[in-house]
Each structure stands twice: as C-alpha cells, then as structure tokens.
Structure 1
Amino acid sequence: MGKYFGTDGFRGEANIDLTVEHAYKVGRFLGYYYGKDRKANVVIGKDTRRSSYMFEYALVSGLTASGADVYLLHVTSTPSVSYLIRSENYDCGIMISASHNPYYDNGIKILNGSGYKLESEVEELIENYIDGEGLSIPYATREKIGKTTDYYIGRNRYIGYLISLATRSFSGMRVGLDCANGSASTIAKGVFDALGAKTYTINNEPNGTNINDGCGSTHIKTLQKYVVENQLDIGFAYDGDADRCLAVDDKGNIIDGDLILYVCGSYMKERGELNNNTIVTTIMSNIGLYKALDEKGISYVKTAVGDKYVYENMLENGHSIGGEQSGHIIFSKHATTGDGILTSLKIMEVILEKKMKLSDLIKDVYIYPQLLVNVKVKDKKTAREDNKVKEIINQVTSELGDEGRILVRESGTEPVIRVMVEAQSHELCKLHVDRVVEVLKQQGHVRND
C-alpha cells in the first residue's frame, strides 16, 4: 500500500484525510497521463454521499484543466463504471465512493482502460504528483481544454446489460432488496422489476448522510427481519457502491460470500463452466467452505484479502469465479470487479434453473463459528510486528490445531488491526480474540478515541 492509496483506492474522511485539493490533483494527473498521445476520455460515477458531489466537481476541474473530456454517470455503482469503460473504450474511469464506510468518509477509486483497478505503479506516480515530487503538468489551453458531458444514459445501458444476462423470468418470486441508501438505489429495483419479480425495497431513499447507516450488507439483520416478516423467497443486501452482495434465504439465514461461492461454483461445475475446476478465495474464507468444496471435488486457491488480488489470480490463471466472504464476487465472463447486482442475478439463476430454495442449496455446508473484531490502533505495522502480539498469535494457533484458525492482519483501508478466529464454538472464538485484543491494549497499540 502507498501513502494515499490502499487496496481499494484513496479513501479517508472527507476534507480531512481526503480533500478537494487531493481530488483536483488526481484529476490533473489522470488527464495528463491518459492524454499524452490524444485527448483522454474519462467516465466518472459516484455514490450518494453528500461529499461525492464536491469530489466530482474537483476531479472534473482537474481532468478538464489537463485536457481530458469527462462523462458523468452521476449516482451509479462501481461495476457500472467498469462495464462502460470496457464496452465504450474509455481510457479510464473513476468511482467516487467509500464503499461500506460511513457517510462522512469518501474515496476515489480509479479503474484503468480494462475496467480493472489501477496498477500500483501508476498510483505511486499520482502520490508523487500530489506531494509535489513528480511532474510539472502543463494546463490545457484554448481548444485543448476538456469538456464535460452529462452521460446518465450510460447507467441505463448497464442496466440493460444486467437484464440481458438473466436466463429465466423472475415472475412469481418475492424478492427483498436492501439498497443501503447507496448506489444500488438507482439500479437494483429497476432490474428486478424488469425481470418480473415482485420486488420489495428497503433503505432505498438516500439523503446524503444515511448511506450504510444501519442497513445494507454490513447491517444485514435489517434485511433478515424484513424477509421473514414479509415471507419473501429471498433477499439481497448491497453495500454503498453496490460492488458486493450478501443474501438472505427463505428461512432468514445469512448467505455470505463463502456460501455464494459454494452455490454458484457448484452450479458452474455441473454445467461445465467452472474453469480449471477451481474457485478463487481469500485467506478470510471459512474452513467450512473448504471442507464442502472438498466433498464436491472442487479445487480452490487462496489470495490476500481484496477483490483486487482475487481478480489478479483469476486473470493470470483463467479461473471463472472468485470472491470474498464479505460479498465481493467476481464472474470473469461478465465482469472485472465485484458486482453485487450481477451476483444476485447469478444466485437467482441457480435457484430457478435447479428449482430449489436457497436454504436447500446450502444445507450441506457447515460454516464454523467465526468472530472478527476490528481494533483501532495507533500504527498498524508497529502493532502487527510487536513480538508480544506475535507470541499470543502463535499460542492461539497451537491451541486451535486443525479445528480452527486465527488470522490477524492490517486493514487496507482503515487504521485498524483485524483479529479473526474460527473455532468449534462462539465461546472459543471470543476467548481467543479477547486474548489477542488484550495484548494489543497492554502493549499500548490501541487508540482511545
């Protein structure tokens, strides 16, 4: 990770960690970088945060000042930006979003001309330019100054693409959608309605400050309750920029990314569509997923946390599905990033084609109890490399043996150490997580704010 860019772009609290000056300079650099040989064409989308408009205008100012032409999708999803880059040959795309973070955070996520997250070496060049250590970029003048085009129709083209991927009508299906008061609010209901579902939406009225607020994929109990109370067949919850999806089955159970990988991967194997008979996972995936895949005769690989690393592995090896427990699922035939709404359509395909309820499709998987605690720390690297911290991690690893595991890692987007334990009971999970957190406190790494 660089000074400003983490695993999912440049992210931080608006006008504190990420300012309009940062955004302007990012725009200036991208307009120059992609416009060396010809005028650059850049597409921009944003989520529903109040600060997204501010950053949009700053980015546009920088881009056009460097000579780029900019196309504005307005409120849309990250995967829609990626899709339009690929289908309409933009030089790059920008998504203004902090994903699942609270409304006061925001981020700049840059996608290259292939619709994939920007290369780290280009991010480093941007960081140098922001700090005044890079190029001196000239301003465009006269007819070379860039222009801005209102391009909301691009979002409609993406919606049409999603609808075209469905293999059957959703008629007769009662589907609940939690749009997280975010990007999915402009897309998801229209897709499900067009496919014939009886669609019920919640958290679909963004006001600039309610994105991810007690709703969406990070607060899925809201959707669980809604599905059960309204006797729905299934529910889907998205995050702020709609690049991840979690599901709720007909019984109100949470279907996380691991279970989605199992359901869709098994179906793809049956249809001969699981390239290399392999599913790409991350180190956060549950032991129960791997045991279930072993029973199905499906191979798997593990990457570092981040859909960026999942897709890199998929691209390098030709795998067709991969993803994260958090709900970032990538179907390489259709997308280069996680796509929450696409994922929900793929789950619907399995249910309808196999004529089975989602609760029946996952009945053979036993997910081990898991506890993840995010600990705010003063310095992630120092905390993670503390010898006392390493010592307690080794002790827990030894005690769990083959019936569990511990994973302690630095967050790629926040000043946080993530402590995760899987074990045979929730009590054991809590016991071991608490032991690690206590050592972090004793060593003075934990922030008190």
Structure 2
Amino acid sequence: MKSRTSVMISIVLAMLVASIDTTIMNTTMPVISKELGRFDLYAWSFAAYMITTTILSPVAGRLSDLFGRKRVFASGILLFLAGSLLCGISANMVQLVIFRAVQGIGAGFMMPFPAIIAGDLFPMEKRGKIQALFTAMWGISAILAPLLGGLFVEFMTWRWIFFINLPICIIAFLTLMPYKEEYQPKKASIDYIGALLFAAGVTFLLLVTVVEENKLLYTILGIALLIAFYFYEKKQASPIVPLTMFKNKTISWININAFIGTAALFGTSSFIPLFLQNIAGLSLFLSGFALLGVAAGWMAVAVPAGKWIMKYGYRILLISGNALLLFSGILLLLLNENHGFWYVFGIMIVQGLAFGLLSTVGLIGSQQLVGAHEKGISTSFFMFCRNMGTAIGVTIMGALLASESSFMQGIHHLFIFGFFGSILALVTSYLIRNEATITDAKAAPAK
C-alpha cells in the first residue's frame, strides 16, 4: 500500500509539471522573446516541446513493455529536470528552443505513465476515479500556468517558470524509488530503425503545423516515412509498434475515433478565450476560467466510467460520448456576438462530458483489450492519436480563423469544421465492435 501511495504521488507530480509546461509559456513568451531576441524562433519554442513530446510518448510506452515502467518513467523525470534547468539558464533563443526539445523528450517519457501504471495497479472499476484525478491535474495546470507565469515575470524572472520544476521533479523521482513494480517486463531487443522511421515521419507531419513554407513537401516526406515504417515493422520480431495489436478491430477503431474526435473539437479551448476576450469583452482570467467547464464535465463522467464499462460495454459509451460531442458542435455553431460567459461555460461542460467519456473509456479499452506485454504501447499509442488529432485540428482551425478578415466569421468557419468532424467521429463510433465481442476480448487471458 505504501508503495502504491508513493508511486501515485510521483506520477501526479510528474503529470502536473509536464502539463503546466505545455501552456505556461503562452503568457510569458512575449517577455522571453523580447529579452532573448530572435522573434523568428517564437513559434519554435512551443513546437520543439510539442513535437518531441508527441513522438516520444508511444516509444516510451513500448520501452516500458520491454524494460519495465519504473526505469523508463524515472528516465523521463530526470530528462525533464535536466531540460528545465537548461531552459532556465538559456542565454539566447536558439538555446531555449533546443533545451525545450530536451524538456519535451522528458515529458514524452513521462506523459503515458499515469495511465499505464494506473492500469497495472488498479482494477477497471477503480480506474475511472484515478483518471479523474489525472484530469484534475490538467484542470489545475490550466489555472496555475497563466497565474504562475504572470507572477514570475512580474515579481521575479521568467526563468523561474523552469526552475520551479526542479524541486517538484526531485520529489517525483524520490517518491518513485520505493515503488515495487508489479509488471514483469518481457525482454527483447530495441527496434532502433523502426523508432527512427516513426519519429522522423511524425516529425515532418507535425512540422506542417508550425512552418509557413514547404508544407506539401513536409507532408509527402512524413507520409513516405510512415509508409516505410509500416513495411519495415511488418518484418520485425520485436517492433517498436506491434502491428499485430491492430488486428483487434476494436483497438483500431478506438484509436481512429480518438484521432477524429480530438481533431474536430478538442482545439476549441485554444479559441474560446479569444472569443470571450475579443467579442464578449471578458478579462483574461474569466476567459480562462470558462475552460474549467471542460474539467468539471470530464471529472463527472470519468469517476464512474470504469463501472459503466462493466455494465454497458465500450461501444454504447463511446457512441454516447460522440453524441455529446456532436451536441457541443451544434451549440458552437449557434455561438454569436450576443452570447457571453454562461453560454460558453455550458458548452464547455457538455464538451467535458463528451471528452471525459471518450478519453476514459478509450484509455481503459486500450489497456483491457491487449495482452499485458502490449499494454504500455497500446495506452501510449491511444494518447498519441489524441495528440496528433489535437495538433492537426488546432492547425486547421487556426488557418480558418486567420483566412477571414472578420474575427466572428473566422470563428464560425472553424466551428463548421468542428461540427462536420464531430459527425464523422460519431459515425466511426458505430464501427466499434459490439459488446459481446468486446467482453470476449476483455476476458481473454494475456498472452
């Protein structure tokens, strides 16, 4: 019990610092770029973290299947600590971008483990409560990030947005040490070439979201490398992403649905504050506070989700989640200049209910429908699909907003995109196998 409590403290702290650092620079980057110069690298300070975190998460999950959760997770904490220290002492913008990539590598190695370790430690009916706790950390970070960023810039120095991570990482590392790992890793060789092809292919695709030129070239290179990765992995005895995992059609459609759903509307939180500030005339704090509706809705359904799965199965819950997502898309289509805080807050609650179901049920499904030695990669690949969907969705929405001279017209067009995307997500949820098949798969012994 002490070991379980200790590791829970470790993963909650690790998730908190990694999630805060995803957004804390949103409020501080103007000050940082003014001091360090090279404004042309402004976007890369965000992209370096986002790209490395996204591509390393599934790799970390697979490595944990091969070498154990504790070892890989501990490496991620130390890498994140080192990256934070280096970011804090950066002398110019080039250094900051490079060190943000190091920090992102550490975050990529940390991010999947709250879900993976919770999957090892807790039965399905309790896992929803644990996921709700992790959701709470994202909600807390959404509030803390801008507050901490503003406080450090005003009263100390922006460098403390990175230095504050050091004691938290040290505590997370020390509380991880007593953990007696229950999972027994299956030793195998590392597929270095497969990992390199996967990382390169995803990197080129993600570059499309931040560069202004050669988007088509990066897209072609990314797709070509991922095709090469697919054919290479088919021949490997110990692939970095076991393709046999996707013979389970339920797993495949859960991942596809996660990608489409997040691409459709998960990026809403990036643009709703702009609407509330520019159109409704609300303060920075209130416009950010509206996003807490997502956390509230998410936690409300995440807590009982594990028990609901045992009672209703995956399919009906994922269909319900996508129906709620479509409903939020309809409400966003109706958004206009006369709407204020409470209308938006209501939409955020509905969206939180939707993503709470989709994320928690999909995450538990990605763990329960594979053998023990594929749980790490399956969990992290589900998270990878969500991250890729978010990155691509936000990019498309940003382009739609920027292409219109009228802010309100741009907002309307990006929500049209989200509405049709949510329809597609609902359609794909019906392709998930029926409950009897899922129950059979869930009851099957781990290979």
TM, length-normalised to structure 2: 0.32
Which of the pair has the greater relative contact order for Cα pairs under 8 Å at 6+ separation?
2
Q: Larger Cα Rg: Structure 1 or Structure 2? A: 1
TM, length-normalised to structure 1: 0.32
